[in-house]
Amino acid sequence: MVAGVHWELVVVLGYFGVFVVSVGYAQWLARGMDVHRGEGH
């Protein structure tokens, strides 16, 4: 069984997913702060 490559892929994809989610959440938070600070939409 060649499980090393698959585990590395799973780990890389997992870290990439967490990174994308954290960046998206940070941008969503920043957008909410901008809305509260500037125009009151």
**pLDDT profile of the chain (41 residues), mean per 10:** 76 97 95 72 54
pTM of the model: 0.56
**What is the pLDDT, as a whole number, of residue 4?**
67
Q: How far apart are CA 31 and CA 34, in angstroms?
A: 5
**What is the pLDDT, as a whole number, of residue 9?**
92
CB 10 within 8 A of CB 18: no
